[in-house]
Amino acid sequence: MIANPIYGGAYACGKTGVAASYDGSAFNAQRQCKSRENWLALIPGTHDDYVSWDRAEAIRRMVSENVPTGRHHGAPKHGDALLAGLLRCHRCGRKLTLRYTGAEHNIPRYSCVRGWLDSGEPRCIPFGGLRVDDAIETALLDVVGPRAIEAAVTAQATINEQRDQTREALARDLQAARYEADRAFRQYNAADPENRLVIGELERRWNAALTAAAAIDQRIVDHDAARGRNAHANRSRCRN
């Protein structure tokens, strides 16, 4: 949540995509996170922020540097706690440590034990992390609720326009590919059957043109199917 753009008052959409692969017998699709420059929309200032956009970006950079190897500053990434490495003890000023408890080791608990570990000082206050994380999440959702809808509508309109432009470009590519395939067929059909070398080359060009046209046609089918799925998902979200 802390690394989410809504924390700094921004609306984001299209942060994930589907990567397709072919293993020789079937196509496999896997959802993957996109790099920020490839998101469909990122619109700062769409709703009230919890912290300023600059501060939210600074937090995002800090979180991105949270690696367990010690090569960068920050807290380890392991676990789902929202505030790992971000809290300090009010009494001694040291950073709170985080550990996970429970049967499945998934319940966060913050505590100040650095003084005790380093120099035998008395322990400061410990507390469970579930209520704290829930309070942060509730506060964020209260802030982003109303304006997020307006931002989503604006972003969706932009996305639809981009998809329309993509569809038009694919249609032009398909028209050109079909023209090339038709021209290759006419050349093949007009060639002297006795000249096998020429016939073979023209047939190869014709097949290549047909393959290119079929590939573009399939891209259009996939594009239309994806748009239909997105439209259905948007309607479902609106009903909810």
User: What is the residue extent of each domain of the chain?
Assistant: 5-83+129-239
- How many angstroms separate the CA atoms of 178 and 163, rounded? 22
Contact between residue 170 and residue 215 where contact means Cβ atoms under 8 Å apart = no
**pLDDT category, 74, cuts 50, 70, 90?**
very low
239 has pLDDT over 60? no
pLDDT digits (tens, 9 = 90+) for 76-110: 445 677 787 788 888 888 888 888 888 877 788 88
Is the CA virtual torsion 194, 198, 204, 209 positive or negative? negative
Percent of the chain whose predicted confidence (pLDDT) is above 70: 79
- How many angstroms separate the CA atoms of 18 and 34, rounded? 9
The upper half-sphere exposure of residue 3, i.e. CA atoms within 13 Å in the direction of its Cβ, equals 14
The whole-model pTM stands at 0.35
Q: What angle do CA 13, 18, 19 make, to 5 degrees?
A: 140
Contact between residue 206 and residue 181 where contact means Cβ atoms under 8 Å apart = yes
73 has pLDDT over 70? no
**pLDDT category, 126, cuts 50, 70, 90?**
confident
- How many angstroms separate the CA atoms of 115 and 133, rounded? 25
**pLDDT category, 69, cuts 50, 70, 90?**
very low
Task: Between 66 and 221, name the one with better pLDDT.
Answer: 221
DSSP-assigned letters across all residues of 31-78: EEEPPGGG-SEEETTSS--SS-HHHHHHHHHHHHT--TTSSSSS----
Residue 188 has a pLDDT of 85
pLDDT digits (tens, 9 = 90+) for 156-195: 777 777 778 888 888 888 899 889 989 888 888 888 877 8
- How many angstroms separate the CA atoms of 223 and 25, rounded? 23
Task: Between 16 and 2, name the one with better pLDDT.
Answer: 16
Mean pLDDT taken over the chain:
77
Residues 6+ apart with CB under 8 A from 227: 163
